[in-house]
Amino acid sequence: MGYRFKLIGYPIKHSLSPWIHEQFLKKSNLKGMYSIFEISPEKSFEESVKYLKREETDGFNVTVPYKQAIIPFLDEIDDTARNMGAVNTVVKKNNRWIGYNTDGMGYLRSLENKYPEFVQNKNIRILLIGAGGAARAIYFALNHSGFTAIDIANRTPGSAREISELASSSCKSNILSLGEAEKCIDQYDLIIQTTSVGMKPHVNEAILSLDRLTSDTIVSDIVYQPLQTKFLQQAQDRGAMLHYGHTMLLYQAQYAFEIWTDRQLSINDLDVKLKAVLEGR
């Protein structure tokens, strides 16, 4: 019969998750399928979850807008997901649903894979731009892996402050306005853009100017449609090192697959393949 995985969310018809997990199944020589279960907002979420509980499934991913809504239906939640207040992966074990959040670790793995030496220095100065769910997950993962200086710049300072409250005692975080961040951008070794600014169709927008950027900086954008955002283009023009958004997508999926199957796959080759899929859209 093989594994049966699903994705729940809305809208998800164009999600890349089925493609990614099918690649993983092929790679691992495991039988299985990954299907989408779209739950439109007009439907009762509770009824849909009840239906899902009756279905034969080994696990599922949860995406917008249900990452919080799924929590009351879980039997268990791991610490990271609890701290995030959001779940993107559920595994069914002994008929119990256990929730995880693989986004932050996915980002960290993608970064470690691309810049392994760079991330060994835990004292690098990091600037996180944005304070939504993705920023929270990335902040938490970076903090937990021992990075000590993670500043947050956001349009709304209050949301940035809330994220910084997740910090362990060894981590220091300053809260900046977007204008302030622009002025001191040359002080950072790693800059991570986590807002949706610059996403298709708004490809000519960038959250801030990188005029003062120096070339020894890594600039990361979690937006992957387009792959080369205006933000990354500015970084490239300054000669900086780039880190593309689609790799986070791959590595958060890698971690979810590992939770479901206990297999950690080497997925370096999928970077190029996924790029081609995205460019063909």
Judged by CB, which is closer to ligand ATR: 102, or 261?
102
By CB under 6 A, residue 159 contacts ligand ATR: yes
With CB under 6 A as the contact rule, the residue among 17, 110, 154, 254 that binds ligand ATR is: 154
CA distances (Å), origin 269, targets 228, 266, 272: 19, 8, 6
From the list 144, 155, 161, 183, which residue makes contact with ligand ATR (rule: CB under 6 A)? Answer: 155
Q: Which residue type does 132 have?
A: G
Q: Least CB distance from residue 207 to ligand ATR, whole Å?
A: 6
Site string for ligand ATR, 198-217 (x = CB under 6 A): ---------x----------
CA distance 119 to 77: 29
Instruction: Report in angstroms the alpha-carbon separations of 94 from 1, 152, 260.
Output: 18, 41, 13
Interface residue with ligand ATR, options 126, 197, 223, 235 (CB under 6 A):
197
Give the distance, in angstroms, between the CA of residue 110 and the centroid of all CA atoms in the same chain: 10
Cα gap 28→30, rounded to integer Å: 5
| From candidates 131, 176, 235, 270, binder to ligand ATR by CB under 6 A | 131
Token code pair at residue 125: 């100065």
Which residues partner with 206 through β-bridges?
none
Under 8 Å between Cβ of 213 and 185: yes
Which 237-256 residues touch ligand ATR, going by CB under 6 A?
none
Instruction: Output the smallest distance, CB 101 to ligand ATR, in A.
Output: 12
- Residue 10 tokens, joined: 């809305």
Using CB under 6 A as the binding rule, whether residue 223 contacts ligand ATR is answered as no
**Cβ-closest residue to ligand ATR?**
132
Considering only the stretches 8-16, 139-147, 152-160, 165-173, report the one whose residues sit in contact with ligand ATR under the rule CB under 6 A: 152-160
> CA 2 → CA 58, 61, 278, distances in Å?
10, 17, 28
Looking at the DSSP bridge assignments, the partners of residue 36 are 7
Report in angstroms how near the CB of residue 197 gets to ligand ATR at its nearest.
5
Query: 99, 104, 106, 130: which one contacts ligand ATR (CB under 6 A)?
Result: 130
Alpha-carbon distances of 175 from 151, 156, 178, 216, 218, rounded to whole Å: 6, 10, 10, 23, 20
Question: Considering the complex, what minimum distance in angstroms separates the CB of residue 133 from ligand ATR?
Answer: 3
35 binds ligand ATR (CB under 6 A): no
CA angle 60, 64, 69 (to 5 degrees): 75
Near ligand ATR by CB under 6 A: residue from 195, 220, 252, 254:
195
Helix, strand, coil % in the chain, rounded to nearest 5: 40, 20, 40
Given the residues 67, 92, 114, 230, select the one marked as catalytic: 67
The stretch among 37-45, 101-109, 188-196, 251-259 that binds ligand ATR (CB under 6 A) is: 188-196
Query: Does 200 qualify as catalytic in the annotation?
Result: no
Token pair of 162, please? Answer: 């809330």
Enumerate the active-site residues. 67
Q: Enumerate binding residues for ligand ATR (CB under 6 A).
A: 130-135, 154-156, 159, 194-197, 207
